[in-house]
Structure 1
Amino acid sequence: MNRVVHPIEQESFRRLRARLDTSHFPPLTRAVVERVIHSAADLEYAADLVTDEGDLVKAHAALHAGAPVVVDVEMVAAGITRRETVCRLKDAEAGPGLTRSAHAIRLAYEEVGPGALWVIGCAPTALEELLTLDASPALVIGLPVGFVGAAESKEALRASGLPAVSNVSEKGGSAVAAAALNALLYHPISHSEETS
């Protein structure tokens, strides 16, 4: 089923492209960059985001083949409009050396196992915990926000070698993390993905 795009959204993307040339990005990278910029009205994301088109192609295929989507908080889940998600934050408890967000990631991993897409837009400790697990993710969208631990956790994600979408600065958040996942959800499936 094709997604119906509202005229306001169409005009917003037209204005975005009038202010920023994104034509040099590969297709899925462009989709992610544009949707993140659109969600935050922040053109700086074009230079701040770190993606790999090959990772995005594999993640896109996994997502459309039904791989689970795990989020760190309900605000991220609320922004993902066309897919069920797993969020275990309400079941989690803080403990010595463990935040609720980190415990929720452990609980989610126990539920979904390897191969999921992980969307972290709030808690740096959730991203840090994910990096300690043998999650073999299809993709980690690591865009937590904040002045304490956010940039460092995203740097650790990039250093891990896992397939990822991240950014260099402290900015991020639930809306941009959901937008990055939505970009992959909304992007059409290519013929090569259908036959591979």
Structure 2
Amino acid sequence: MKRTVHPIEAESYRILRRAADTAALPPHTRDVIERIIHTTADPGWLTDLVTDEAALAAGRAALAAGAPLVTDVSMVAAGVTTYPATCLVAAPETAALARDTGLTRSAAGIRLAAEENPDGAVWVIGNAPTALVELIDLATTGAIRPALVIGLPVGYVGAAESKAALRETALPHLSNRSARGGAAVAAAAVNALLYGDPLA
């Protein structure tokens, strides 16, 4: 997706490329890592992210073809400004499912979204480790077949562990090793797949 790049953004990218050597990375990997560094002003993401070029290419192709984009929380959806996203965390039926099952609201929203998006969606978890665990469980049973899972939840309880569990699956995915993550980072990964290199 081509867009007008503001001079401040272009200069930010030139600065980050001096701070983090990304030149040898494959193109989609570079796009994602640079967009996350740009979003956070933290070059440490270069060594924290765990990427797979083929998985990112599949996610980009899916989005280019209009695949569903499903997020765990509304803040992730809000950060993706040029592509419609589904987020059921605030839906009344999500609250009811969470109450009846003991799931967190985020996990319940993922379970309900799976019923509507079983094949080929791009799934983005940017907040709740429980949502990522639920997504992994759904994929393990064959309830969903994602085009890409962006697993970047944040927190001291379960975040790093849920991302490690994602990396143990055969799902096409993006994750990171540490407990950090969050909605802005997850949205940045999606935007990278949508926009590509702003200096190209």
Would you say same fold, with TM above 0.5? yes
2:128 matched residue in structure 1: 123
Gaps of 5+ in 1: 189-196
SS at match of 2:186: helix
TM-score, scaled to structure 2: 0.91
Is 1:72 equivalent to 2:81 in the alignment?
A: no
Amino acid at match of 2:151: G
2:114 matched residue in structure 1: 109
Is 1:44 equivalent to 2:53 in the alignment?
A: no
2:187 matched residue in structure 1: 178
TM-score, scaled to structure 1: 0.93
Gaps of 5+ in 2: none
2:168 matched residue in structure 1: 159
Query: How many residues end up aligned between the 2 structures?
Result: 188
For residues 103 and 109 of structure 1, the distance between their equivalents in structure 2, rounded to whole angstroms, comes to: 10
1:10 matched residue in structure 2: 10
For residues 161 and 42 of structure 1, the distance between their equivalents in structure 2, rounded to whole angstroms, comes to: 29
For residues 186 and 58 of structure 2, the distance between their equivalents in structure 1, rounded to whole angstroms, comes to: 18
CA contact (8 A) 2:70 2:85 kept: yes
Moved more, 109-118 or 22-31: 109-118
Amino acid at match of 1:111: E
Amino acid at match of 1:117: V
Deviation of the 1:114 alpha carbon = 1.5
Deviation of the 1:97 alpha carbon = 3.5
Is 1:168 equivalent to 2:177 in the alignment?
A: yes
SS at match of 1:70: strand
Deviation of the 1:109 alpha carbon = 0.9
Amino acid at match of 1:90: A
Q: Which runs of 4+ in 1 moved over 4 A?
A: none
Amino acid at match of 1:103: A
Same amino acid, percent of matched pairs:
61
Is 1:147 equivalent to 2:152 in the alignment?
A: no
1:20 matched residue in structure 2: 20
